[in-house]
Structure 1
Amino acid sequence: MKLFSATTQSLEAGLNYSADKQKAISQNIANVDTPNYKAKDVKFESYFKKSVADIQANVTSDKHMSFKPTSATGTSAAPYNSSDFIYHHNGNGVDVDKEMADLATNQIYYNSLIQQLNHKYSMITTVVKGAK
């Protein structure tokens, strides 16, 4: 019997994505004045493919369709250069306003994942301690 469901693993993958996204945004903001620095970003799709790769579906009838998620091999979760736009005269490709908006969006995403994870752990705690 598994103590933690696949939902917990998906939440963990989402938190890993959010942490890497935070690092990329922080690097972009820190290098806003660095000549020829190109803004970095992290793709959500690579984290999603990695979390879906472990899902197994039970087929109980020949009429059921098999569930085979796309393979996560070859996907990279590393930050990549998001664009070749140059926003400053020194060749820098960081738009501070965009980075700050991405930072706020990522913070909201992170907080929602934490709330979901806390709810899951609260349910486990209630089961272990017993409802009162």
Structure 2
Amino acid sequence: MGVANLPLLSQIKGRLTWLDERQRVVAQNVANADTPGYVARDLKAPTDFAAALRDGGGLQMRQTTRGHMPIGGPNGTPVARFTSQASPDSETTLDGNAVVVEEQMLKMAESRMAYDAAIGLYTKSMALLRLAAKSPGR
């Protein structure tokens, strides 16, 4: 098993992927803040363990036997697990636009803080792995 396949690191990678996708959705909302009839979108995060298992929540499936069903799209390539859904903000303007830039900026800041926390956890995990891999007395 390689270092990249460790469960903790793959969970952190999944979280970073979700945060990256959320930032993209929030940026799209801000870009359409003046578009008539546009409704803000957001990603739904898994809220409990059962939902995470049901939706795939960072767990990687593998086809261990040829008789198993293929994974993902064509040629076994993984497909994106995240889908954005309409999530109107607290106000809707007369032209039907439901994007409040201030609320989108808060979502962006939340995502940035969570991203920084995940990167910090990744960095600490890698430091611990390096420490464990050192030979004694070095």
Tell me if both proteins adopt one fold, taking TM over 0.5 as the criterion: yes
Structure 1 residue 28 and structure 2 residue 29: aligned? yes
Counterpart AA for 2:93: H
Q: Is the 8 A contact 1:40 1:81 kept in 2?
A: yes
Supply the distance in 2 between the matched residues of 1:15 and 1:5 (Cα, whole angstroms). 15
How many Å separate the matches in 1 of 2:38 and 2:118? 31
| Distance apart, 1:7 and its partner CA | 1.2
Matching of residue 100 in structure 1 with residue 101 in structure 2: no
Number of aligned residue pairs: give it.
Answer: 113
Indicate the residue corresponding to 2:69 in structure 1.
none
CA drift at 1:51: 3.0
Matched, 1:50 2:56: yes
* Structure-to-structure mapping, 1:1-80, within 5 angstroms: 1=1, 3=3, 4-45=5-46, 48=52, 49-51=55-57, 53=59, 76-80=81-85
- For structure 1, the residue ranges without an aligned partner over 5 or more in a row are 56-74
CA distance in 2, matches of 1:53, 1:129: 30
If the length of structure 2 is used for normalisation, what is the TM-score?
A: 0.69
The verdict on how the C-alpha distance between 1:36 and 1:89 changes in structure 2, with shifts beyond 3 A counting, is same
What are the Cα deviations for residues 62-115 of structure 1, in whole angstroms up to 9, with x where unaligned?
xxxxxxxxxxxxx95111111386521211110111111111111100000000
Q: Which runs of 5+ in 2 are unaligned?
A: 62-79
Q: Which consecutive segments of 4 or more residues in structure 1 shift more than 6 A?
A: none
* TM-score, length basis structure 1: 0.72
Alpha-carbon distance in 1 for matches of 2:6, 2:106? 33
